[in-house]
Amino acid sequence: MGKHANRGRYLEEWIEHTNSAYMQKGLAVISKIPTPWKILRTYNPYTKQYKISNAFPEKKSTVDFGGTACNQSVWFDVKSTENKTRYPLANIYGHQREYLLNVAKQGGKAFILIHSTVLKKTWLLWIDQLTKVIEEDTKSLSFEWLDKHCEIVKSQNGFILDYLPLVLKRKEDCECD
């Protein structure tokens, strides 16, 4: 694992806690999507035991979270940055964008939560917004741009990051005809 492999783990934990509270209150069933891992083991004939010799992701995962809220499919990834002024779009991988685009085409809610550790602020970026800025060949999103174009996810109503009201108020038409 790389140096920054668990950089956003605290953010995922906040979302997992929020999702658990949503479920307890009957508001949503949204879960963490595990990355499938391939475990290689070697056998030691002297101890007659197997030991893990290597482990690596078996395939690219989809996104961090997925589920249902108010009869709507909800899928998203969470990203964090320590950058002081902007979020680099290179941190959002092609397979994640593709997956979220497919969710949106099926009428699901598809987005990315971007958290600034410096500003202690989280924005909700819809997949259609992301697609538009990538088409414009933008390499990063300034925090100023995020403030202007995205909604801020706040701690409220007893939830650490209460993103669900923002997600459910957005009206979208299914593009699958």
Average pLDDT over every residue of 136-158: 93
Comparison of pLDDT for 46 and 141, the residue scoring more:
141
Residue reference for tokens 């906040």: 14
> Is 4 a residue whose pLDDT tops 50?
no
- Classified as helix, coil or strand, 61 is coil
In a domain, 39, yes or no: no
In a domain, 22, yes or no: yes
In a domain, 3, yes or no: no
Q: Which domain holds residue 78?
A: 9-34+60-169
pTM: 0.80
Q: What is the pLDDT of residue 110?
A: 97
> Is 121 a residue whose pLDDT tops 90?
yes
- DSSP for 105-160, please give it: HTT-EEEEEEEETTTTEEEEEEHHHHHHHHHTT--EEEHHHHHHHSEEE--BTTBS
pLDDT band at 175 (very low <50, low <70, confident <90, very high): very low
In a domain, 118, yes or no: yes
In a domain, 93, yes or no: yes
In a domain, 157, yes or no: yes
In a domain, 101, yes or no: yes
Q: pLDDT of 75-93, one tens digit each?
A: 999 999 999 999 999 999 9
Q: What is the pLDDT of residue 60?
A: 67
> Is 53 a residue whose pLDDT tops 60?
yes
Domain count, the chain: 1
Helix (H) or strand (E) holding 70: none
Mean pLDDT taken over the chain: 86
In a domain, 44, yes or no: no
Here the CATH number for the domain that contains residue 14 is 3.40.1350.10
> Is 57 a residue whose pLDDT tops 90?
no
**Rounded to an integer, what distance in angstroms lies between the CA atom of residue 85 and that of residue 96?**
24
CB 62 within 8 A of CB 85: no
